[in-house]
Structures are given as structure tokens and as C-alpha cells.
Structure 1
Amino acid sequence: MLAHWRDDPGRLTYRDGTDTQDGTVAEFYFSSPESWEAKTIDRLERLCDHDPILDVGCGAGKHLLWWAEHGVEATGVDVSPNAVLTARERCEVHRTSRRSGEAAERGFEAVLLGNMFALPVETGAFGAVHAVGTQLGLGRSLAGIRELLGEFARVTDDGGVAVVDNYDPTRVGDDFLGYRSDPRAGIAHRCFHLEFERETAAGERYREVGRTLQFLLCSPARLREATNATPWSICDVRRTDGTGHYSAVLEKRGPAGSEPG
């Protein structure tokens, strides 16, 4: 992300053994709202009434910039120092170039370095959590996802909302990069690592290999199971046509564990 932002992009590859997939950095991290699907805009708009918003795994900050344009308070957090640096630089460019006014003040962005399992923010500080990019699967088990949802509950207020996403293993197969089957219904796994290559100005080749990432893939029904013993309840699931991808909107349960209204 940082290399792309500074106009020295190189090549990012997802790899699982001999299977590879292009990292599509420009399309995934730097796309403009004009190219986004309507459901993406709907998801962002749905959280606008619940600001301030915490964008978990904010990457290069494209969603932070969208909320800023709409006068919505949002804070980003990412575990990657270079992603945080990229998002901070982009947000600073946006801050200095936009017009002054109430919307500009309300749309102030901050970007923090931190682990999503121990978010570097105060308890109850946010009205909503936005965690898309299938980070939820990094819980690696239903228990791990439950732990992560517990952390999202900690940082949101009593009326908190969360948007998460994942892949439904009942709708993907062996050709899905990094796919690992599981005997349990509605459960599978995904493993891959990232490789980044570019040529320096001096003509030297630079290559970095990331650690192996392990994701739990779970169906919406299994995600609902993971919300047990958390304050969250799934109120909406939206699927991406032709893929196993889906996003889910979670709301805090009412007093004594009652369902949200």
C-alpha cells in the first residue's frame, strides 16, 4: 500500500504453495467510490447515524475518506505500520485540500496502529465498528471469532452496531485460493501468504515474504452461533452475487439479553 501510494508500486501476490493470485492493490485499497457496488455504499451509509465509527483493518483509508466527505466522524486502526502510514498520509492530504466548515470538522480522521484483538481505544468510545476484508476469519475458530466480537462490544456503546464479512464455505470450493476443508457443516479454513516484489531505483530487486495467514470460513448460520454469549445479534445478511462472500450487520442486544428492536 505504501509503495503504491508513493508511486513505486511493485507487485503483490497471494500465494498458497504453487497457487497464486494477484494482490490487486490499486483496485482493492485505492478504488474510488464511483467504482464501488451499491451494497458497499449502503453499508457505509448504514453506519453514518452511529458515529463515531471505528474502521478496523482500515488499510489505505478509503472508507475513512468516504466518511470524511460526508461529515461523519471515523477513526481507523490497522496492525500494519505501513498501512497506517499510508492512511495517515492520505487523510492529511484530504484534510488540507477540502473546504473548511462543519462537515469538514466533523469528518476528522485519526489512524491508529493496533491489534484488533486488543484495540487501542477506550471502552464504549464508538457507536459502530466496521471490519470488512474478512478480518473476522483471523479469529481462526468460532471461539476466536467470539473473542473478537467481545472486543468489538467493549469499544462500542449500548446502541452499538458492527458490520463484518466472511466467505460461506458452502458456496466456495477447492478452486478458492488457500481453501482447506473441514468435516463440520458450514466451516472451512483458508491459508495463504503475501509476497511483495519491486525493483529499486538502483536496479536492485527487493522481495518480502509475509507470514502465513490462517482464516476461519464460516456460514452465516455458524456466525450466528459465534455470537452466542456475546452482546451481539445478527440483524441482516447480504450476499455478493456469484461468490461465497457475504456481509453481516450486528446489533447489540437489549437488556437481559433480549433481541434488538
Structure 2
Amino acid sequence: MSPSSESALPAFDTSNFKYTQPPDPSWTYGQPIIATEQGRKWTEEEKEGWKTINAAEEDPKVMYALCISGLTPRPIAFVSTISDDGVENIAPFSWFNQVSHNPAVISVACASTPRHKDTANNIKATKGFTVNIISEPWIAQANSCSIDAPPGVSEWALSGLTREPSISVKPARVKESAFTMECELLQNVEIKNAAGAVVSNLIIGSIKYIHIRKAVLNERGLVDPAKLKPVGRMGDITYVKIGDGFRIPRPSWAESEEEIQKSLDASV
């Protein structure tokens, strides 16, 4: 998309997150998706056929573009680190997620191409880092930290964001972030290509402390998405905000066994 076409886009929608009904609130066990108009349209599109990719033979650049456009939306880890010689670094990574809650562990993947990332090098050297969830009001500041600055240059000054001292690790957390985690390196898994070169470092970190703004909590003490306003990543350079949410209870066999049996009997 060219700058001129971007200028013609509507202004950013600042409306809050809201809950809606799920796409098919009347769905029952065993019912195919063609029972709804949306489902029928989705099924009809299958007639256009499939494109199958052999990952071992595809151009790595194409694989990258395909994967980040298909594996969406992705949460973003805004990671703050410090090098052995005291240079601070902060950068966003969308190959990030939770691994377990007990113990509390997260993962961040740092690609090593076209060069090894300062973030991975710093974490391996000093063990400590912070992960700061990005919210809508300061996405421009966070995005500035994705710049390909040379090693030894701190992105903090470019961003205009505020350092806040951590409790258990040396790197600062981002004061503007409403949900931040202080982490220590638990394990680094080197991902290698067919030639044996390290192409990514999968950083697995133990969460030591979580800092949450009270203003983003709901009455149950949990994070309210309408107040946190988290930002995610799509393909290419596209970010995404959270607009609508819907709740679907997790099925229970004990509670649903009779309903399931009736649905199965009706389909015979």
C-alpha cells in the first residue's frame, strides 16, 4: 500500500472493545457449518481449490511472508534487555506466547537473520529481560524500536518511552505498558537450518514478577481487554486492534453427554 493510498484510509477507530454473540450461537453437536449463511459461503469458497507448499523446497523469504500472514493474530512481546557492557536494547517480537502457568513460563523467538539480534545475545549473556504488552495509545513509540539500528545503539531514546526500574532483573520495564513481566532465562533453544546454521533462538523465560496497572483490571481482578487495548500483529507491516469478542463455554462431557448422544443418533 502506497503512502498516498494510506492517507485516504479512514482515521483510527478509537471505539472500545465490546462483546458480541458468537458467530453461530445456535450450533449443536454434530451440526456442519453449512447450517449458517456464513458457513455456507466459507464452504463454497473451497471450490477454488488449494495451494500446497513444500516447506523444504520453498524460498525462505516466501515461507516467512506466508507464515506471518497465516499465523495471525499474534501477540507481541516488547522485550527490554541489557548487554554485558551495559547498553540497553528494546525491540518488539511477535513470535511470542505463554508456555505454562505453573511454573509461569513464556517463550520469545528471535530470528537470527539477517544478523543475530541484540535481544537474543543480551539475554544469553545476562539472563534477565522484561516483556511489556503493547497497547493502542503508544504503538507508534513501540514500532519505532523495530528499526534496524546498529549494535550498541539503544532504541529507548528513539521511542520516547519511559524506563521503570525492575525488581529482580537489570533491564527496565516500560512504564507506559499496563502489563509487564520480569523474566529470567530458563532455556535457549537454537533452531538450525539444514546446513546447521542457527536461524533462530527460542528464548524460554521464567516469569518472576508481573506488574499490572490497576486501571485495566475488572471486578474479578483479571485484565479487561477493553481497558488494556492490546495490539497484535498480522502479515507484512500490519498491526491489529481488538474490536469484538465473543464467549463460548468450554464443553463438558459430563454435562453434554445426553445432548451429544441425541445429536449422534439423529445423524445416523
**Bigger radius of gyration:** 2
TM-score (norm 2): 0.23
Point out which structure has higher relative CO (alpha carbons under 8 A, 6+ apart). Answer: 2
